[in-house]
Structure 1
Amino acid sequence: MLYIIFLFSCIACKKSWLEVVPMGQRVASNVNDYELLMNDPGYYLYAWSGGWQEPMFMGDEVAAEGAYFLNRSVIKERLFRWTDTIYVNSNETAPAITLHNTQMYSLNKVINEVMETDGGTIQQKSVLLAEARATRAWSNFNMVNYYCKPYVAATAGTDPGFPIIDKADVNTAVYPRGTLQQSYDFIINDYKEAIKNLPVKRTITTRMSRPAAEGLLGKVYLFMGKPAEALPYLQSALSQVSANGSPGLYNFNETLAPGGAFLPIDPVNGPRSPWQNPSDLKEALVSKVWNCGPYTSLGNGGLVLAPWAAALYGPGDLRLQLYTKRNPDNTPNPGGRLRKYGAQYARFGLQLPELYLLSAECKARTGDLTGAVADVETLRKNRMPAADATVPSIIAGNQNALIKFIIEERVREFAMEGSRWFDMRRISVDPVFTGISFKHTIYNANGSTTEYTLPLPNRLVLKFPRNIMEGSTDMTNNP
């Protein structure tokens, strides 16, 4: 049986944006071959690159210790400083878009061919088609949050989009960007078509299920500023999770209590939490994991929690156990700043904590403050003692204050894992957050500080890397 596994590289592309390099000798010929394509670990375990490395450095919840950050990686420094151009030379490849281009060929191959392949049932083929479409939508949504402006309904019809790739054709040399509205329409359609045929429960959590796709579609609508459209999908996803009995939340009150599963706390690596184990899928609707630790080229070495973000945690918040006040060489941090040492692997598929927070935010934005408080407190009761988990009444009864509290809860839950960048983009065009600005601070070894302010709005959007621009005959770069 022959099977082709294609790996794409954007390095030194001249004739096409995508350059396909065959890595095997087998050609997909029956439904089992397409099943193997979708079971490729490259879709769920980003061991060295392709995760949210770039957003991790651009989120304003991070700061940096100069002694451990500067002169380590020019790419990390450019991302942290929000420079106009991150990838200056043709040999500097952006990990996320490179992997996206890699996977588009295989996904489109499944989408365009699986229904006509030999063997299997119509149902099997329909599930594979749906899974590939949902995965394609997930990857495209990541890309519009890297390379397109935040969604604003009034301008989405003219703002540049992200190139839509819907064919497994390596000879295409023209990749028009279209409009942002077209990009979102494509993503939404993929999710809606996928939801029709995805199973309610998967035996393998690294594969797309119906509640995962519904939750992700709800996230898309919310990030478009359409909470009313988002909420039914999020509620449906939560209902199916409840009916399935999985995934479930870790209760830190138990796992970090004496004899708990996260103990003992290692002085170097922190608690034995799921953030240390990429195979821990307990909280995942669909598991996609990337290595955010200090031992990769774009790892978190030198990053600390910005003081404003550290101040969001109450003293009883057990998520603080994921942080240390010691530097990477185990010396005390002179400013007492927190380094996230309890997270080697970050999640960026869809986790149950995020599903609760997405639902809470939609309810708050549509006026259901009681429901919003219930959702956010469900998460908080599993992250701290019950007495600390209650949303203060002065916040719970005020719509805008509650929305801000939920966004802050996203920082408390996902800090230093790349998620904040996506929130920064959308709240920058949100009337609730009018006038917001973002800054980064480097704490130099001599005790001084260096600050950078994010240039709005241009640097909310990355420029396409040079090698990508050289590989397309019809690509317009961002300003």
Structure 2
Amino acid sequence: MKKHIHSSFILLIAITAVVSSCKDSFLEVIPKGKQVASSVNDYELLMNSAIHYQYSGGGWQVPVLLGDEIAAEDIEFQQAYPQTQRLFKWEAQVYELTDESQDIKVPLTNNYALNKIINEVMDAEGGTEVQKRILKAEAMATRAFNYFQLINLYAKPYNEATAATDPGFPVNTTSDITKNNFSRGTVKEMYDFIIADLKEAIAALPATQPVSQTRMSRAAASALLGKVYLFMAKPEEALMYLNQAFADMNAWPVPARLYDYNNTFAPGGSFLPIGWNGPISPSVNRNDFTETLLSKTFMNISGNGNNGIIISPATAALYGSSDLRLKFYSATFSSNMANPSGRLRKYGVLYSRFGIGLADMYLLRAECKARTNDVSGAVEDVQALRSKRMPAADAVVPAAVAGDRAALIAFIIDERIREFAAEGHRWFDMRRLSVDPLFTGISFTHTLFLTGGGTETYTLQQPNRLVLRLPYTILSVNPGMADNP
């Protein structure tokens, strides 16, 4: 397959960030900007860096603002950054000429370190062949994760009929900053690349639990490959890998498990007391891996800012009154003053998770089962999640839904909104549903609630605005690269 190389500008950003994030112990001997690692321990340091799993700001806030489950209060929204406002309005041009796009810079910075591991670790000093193969596999699966995020921002949704001609996002496989030969390739080429990385990684990764859930495991890589296949509208293949992920995870000494909100919000529960900034939950502790196979977190713009982001009234209406996930919402402004409209904002969510989580796996597998006509299996998986989020009697999937495959799939998609609202997941679902025959004619809107009353409504113009335009900082140094419309 053709390799697509990013410009030296992009890789220069990457090497600067990686060099500054690594320990100086091995950089003091070899000049910075040259070879920055030589031993297996050096490559372990690169793989173990927090750049791969803790995103302090920017980057993955972008999908939060693009999801149609959110709305905004003008009294605070008018104070938001211009990029925030443009993303919410689905404007064509998001970035100014000098703006850096963190959603591109962060993963490409990370990929510089990952490419060094992939290309060099097998020749590293010390360590065993097994250690080296595992490190390489972790890096390949992590690189695949990064490119899966990028293609869901900067290329069209996967459509079998057009994927071979739809422009993709450039794939870089080197850590040589002098390379300056690049191409966007196609969506199909990029998905082929992601799948190849993941399959090779899965074959090399052990089934055992990782030392830390900030590192890639075979279970996490399998779950990611299952998600990739579902986004390609291939539920049979997706189901196989999701089942493997569950099997591997369940064999761990301490498998991931769902918090039971019926207990954590009960008197004396671990999420209590609910203070002015929300419950004491994993959303305020990025080191809580209880529900996580692969931890990746970002500081959520909807949970810790004064940008006016709320959930839409239609989203709020999806929750039953006994749904304990409502406790993560407050009818207040960020100042903690009451919102007289009663509209809800997510609060206390300092850190949102976008890695591989157990709730996501249950809902992805449920959807795969429903799409492959295992309706009872799909219901079982949905209820496994719902029973941990509300009283058992209310967790049951309604009979009319459970007996109708199409209705059940729609219910699962709604459950994804209930579970992940205002945390970025909805954007990825919007894109794939836009090319799904079961959701023909689907439209997406944002509502801005004006301070003096009334509203402004923004409608996402498909298909162009389902894809972000490339920032000028990328195009200016890559004059041959075509932009998105």
Q: Which stretch of the first structure deviates more once superposed, 99-108 or 352-361? A: 99-108
* Gap change, CA 1:281 and 1:354, over 3 Å in 2: same
**Residue 263 of structure 1 is aligned with which of 272, 281, 292?**
272
Q: Which residue of 1 aligns with 2:92?
A: 84
CA contact (8 A) 1:175 1:473 kept: no
* Gap change, CA 1:32 and 1:300, over 3 Å in 2: farther
* Gap change, CA 1:400 and 1:295, over 3 Å in 2: closer
CA contact (8 A) 1:230 1:362 kept: yes
**Residue 178 of structure 2 is aligned with which of 150, 163, 171?**
171
1:243-392 to 2 correspondence within 5 Å?
243-244=251-252, 245-266=254-275, 268-293=276-301, 299=305, 301-392=307-398
**Residue 121 of structure 1 is aligned with which of 128, 135, 145?**
128
CA drift at 1:101:
1.6
CA drift at 1:293:
4.5
CA drift at 1:238:
1.0
Q: Which residue of 2 aligns with 1:130?
A: 137
Q: Which residue of 2 aligns with 1:35?
A: 44
1:12-27 to 2 correspondence within 5 Å?
16-19=9-12, 20-21=15-16, 22-23=19-20, 25-26=27-28, 27=36
Tell whether 2:138 aligns with 1:145. Answer: no
**Residue 154 of structure 1 is aligned with which of 149, 161, 167?**
161
CA contact (8 A) 2:302 2:345 kept: no
CA contact (8 A) 1:249 1:353 kept: yes
1:385-400 to 2 correspondence within 5 Å?
385-400=391-406
Q: Which residue of 2 aligns with 1:209?
A: 217
* Gap change, CA 1:163 and 1:377, over 3 Å in 2: same
Q: Secondary structure at the match of 2:251?
A: helix
CA contact (8 A) 2:7 2:181 kept: no
Amino acid at match of 2:417: V
Q: Secondary structure at the match of 1:18?
A: helix
Q: Which stretch of the first structure deviates more once superposed, 125-134 or 465-474? A: 465-474
Could you list the per-position Cα deviations for residues 371-395 of structure 1 after superposition, in whole angstroms to 9, with x for gaps in the alignment?
0000010000000000000000100
CA distance in 2, matches of 1:326, 1:357: 30
**Residue 241 of structure 1 is aligned with which of 239, 249, 254?**
249
CA distance in 2, matches of 1:300, 1:18: 34
* Gap change, CA 1:473 and 1:172, over 3 Å in 2: farther
Q: Which stretch of the first structure deviates more once superposed, 173-182 or 373-382? A: 173-182
CA drift at 1:96:
1.1
CA distance in 1, matches of 2:169, 2:67: 22
CA drift at 1:329:
1.5
Q: Which stretch of the first structure deviates more once superposed, 198-207 or 148-157? A: 198-207
CA distance in 1, matches of 2:412, 2:117: 38
What is the percentage of aligned positions where both structures have the same residue?
52
CA distance in 1, matches of 2:232, 2:446: 26
Could you list the per-position Cα deviations for residues 2-36 of structure 1 after superposition, in whole angstroms to 9, with x for gaps in the alignment?
xxxxxxxxxxx996343242435353110000001
Q: Which residue of 2 aligns with 1:6?
A: none
CA distance in 2, matches of 1:249, 1:309: 23
Q: Which residue of 2 aligns with 1:95?
A: 102
**Residue 448 of structure 2 is aligned with which of 442, 445, 465?**
442
Amino acid at match of 1:178: G
CA distance in 2, matches of 1:469, 1:76: 21
**Residue 76 of structure 2 is aligned with which of 65, 68, 75?**
68
* Gap change, CA 1:474 and 1:18, over 3 Å in 2: farther
Q: Which stretch of the first structure deviates more once superposed, 208-217 or 328-337? A: 328-337
CA distance in 2, matches of 1:344, 1:64: 18
The gaps in structure 2 that reach 5 residues or longer are 1-5, 29-35
Q: Which residue of 1 aligns with 2:3?
A: none
CA distance in 1, matches of 2:306, 2:67: 12
Could you list the per-position Cα deviations for residues 208-249 of structure 1 after superposition, in whole angstroms to 9, with x for gaps in the alignment?
000000000000000011001100100111122222241111
CA drift at 1:294:
5.8
CA distance in 2, matches of 1:64, 1:462: 21
CA drift at 1:300:
6.9
Q: Secondary structure at the match of 2:447?
A: strand
Q: Secondary structure at the match of 2:458?
A: strand
CA distance in 1, matches of 2:325, 2:289: 18
CA contact (8 A) 2:8 2:177 kept: no
CA drift at 1:295:
8.2
Please give the TM-score of this superposition, normalised by the length of structure 2.
0.93
Q: Which residue of 2 aligns with 1:44?
A: 53
Q: Which residue of 1 aligns with 2:240?
A: 232
CA contact (8 A) 2:79 2:307 kept: no
Q: Which residue of 1 aligns with 2:33?
A: none
CA contact (8 A) 1:17 1:472 kept: no
CA distance in 1, matches of 2:296, 2:409: 27
Q: Which residue of 1 aligns with 2:457?
A: 451
Please give the TM-score of this superposition, normalised by the length of structure 1.
0.94
CA contact (8 A) 2:302 2:346 kept: no
The gaps in structure 1 that reach 5 residues or longer are 1-12
Tell whether 2:413 aligns with 1:404. Answer: no
